[in-house]
A and B are shown apart, each in its own frame.
Chain A
């Protein structure tokens, strides 16, 4: 799980319930996604800085929700490719 440690504290963590090798980690540097149960990670959603928490919809696992430290919610409907701020 080495590559994540360079991005500071892991504040939030969520797993795709249908495909548990797909996981998301929220850090101060933003959100990261792994497709191999945490062996490798890639950054997602450059707009979501200072992320504090992440969750995956149990019914629609492509729906990802992230909160930044201040409580602003960002949503993605495609597993983290495109993001928008919740209004």
Chain B
């Protein structure tokens, strides 16, 4: 009788124990936190803003406004990055992944951005309104955008995947044409630099997974 009683307890312990264990296993299989929980919080006039990741940083020609490009869109700061306000770029979609920000070096109202979803966009009013300028560009995924410091209506865009290649415009983005012989590989940043060498002129610098490449601007 007594033995049967102990046996019942043993069975109960084993069953209960097993149940608790499988419950624990189930719990451990669940992801520890929702994706995005580790995003850094950044103050925006006391309203928290979350950046998933920083893609690029730029300052307009006046030196007044700083811009940051993120997978959650474009943000602007008037206090050197202490606080940020979201800049609406599109009415079609709430966020574009902003990879490149290229302010005109002379005109503080004029700037260009490169996005993964909508190619190149241009603003002529300091970022209040934006227009897609992709005539001639054969893919949406822009990874680098360079502006010629000497003639700022001349820009280069690096496109990845569909329509991959380097595109050039000579008229501030009204039309683009693909060019050969430029930097190769997976480009992360593209910049036009005026190097005062003996030859003089503009060089295109491309940064990416293989370091930095320099090409003369005559391809």
- Within 8 Å CB of A9, what residues of B? 188, 207-209
Q: Is B70 an interface residue (CB 8 A)?
A: yes
Chain B residue at minimum C-beta to C-beta distance from A68: B54
Which segment of B56-64, B133-141, B162-170 sits at the interface?
A: B56-64
Q: Is B56 a contact of A38 with CB atoms below 8 Å? A: no
Q: What's the dominant secondary structure at chain B's contact region?
A: strand
A21-61 near B? 1/0 per residue, CB < 8 Å: 10101000000000001100000000000001111111110
Q: Is A65 a contact of B80 with CB atoms below 8 Å? A: yes
Cα–Cα distance between A49 and B188 once the two chains are bound (Å): 18
Cα–Cα distance between A14 and B60 once the two chains are bound (Å): 13
- Within 8 Å CB of A38, what residues of B? 205, 212, 214
- Within 8 Å CB of B56, what residues of A? 12, 53
Q: Is A71 a contact of B189 with CB atoms below 8 Å? A: no
Cα–Cα distance between A86 and B189 once the two chains are bound (Å): 24
Q: Is B149 an interface residue (CB 8 A)?
A: yes
Q: Is B208 a contact of A10 with CB atoms below 8 Å? A: yes
Q: Is B110 an interface residue (CB 8 A)?
A: no
Q: Is B57 a contact of A37 with CB atoms below 8 Å? A: no
Which segment of B5-13, B87-95, B115-123, B192-200 sits at the interface?
A: B192-200
Cα–Cα distance between A66 and B214 once the two chains are bound (Å): 22
A64-77 near B? 1/0 per residue, CB < 8 Å: 01111111110100
Cα–Cα distance between A60 and B57 once the two chains are bound (Å): 16
Most buried by A among B149, B191, B193, B196: B193
Most buried by B among A17, A68, A75: A17
- Within 8 Å CB of B210, what residues of A? 5
Q: Is A53 a contact of B51 with CB atoms below 8 Å? A: no
- Within 8 Å CB of B209, what residues of A? 8-9
Within the complex, the shortest CB–CB distance from A72 to chain B, in Å, comes to 7
Q: Is B211 a contact of A10 with CB atoms below 8 Å? A: yes
Q: Is A82 an interface residue (CB 8 A)?
A: no
Chosen A-B contacts, 16 in total, with CB atoms closer than 8 Å, are: A5-B211, A8-B209, A10-B211, A11-B207, A21-B195, A21-B196, A25-B207, A25-B212, A38-B214, A53-B68, A57-B59, A65-B66, A67-B68, A68-B54, A70-B54, A86-B80
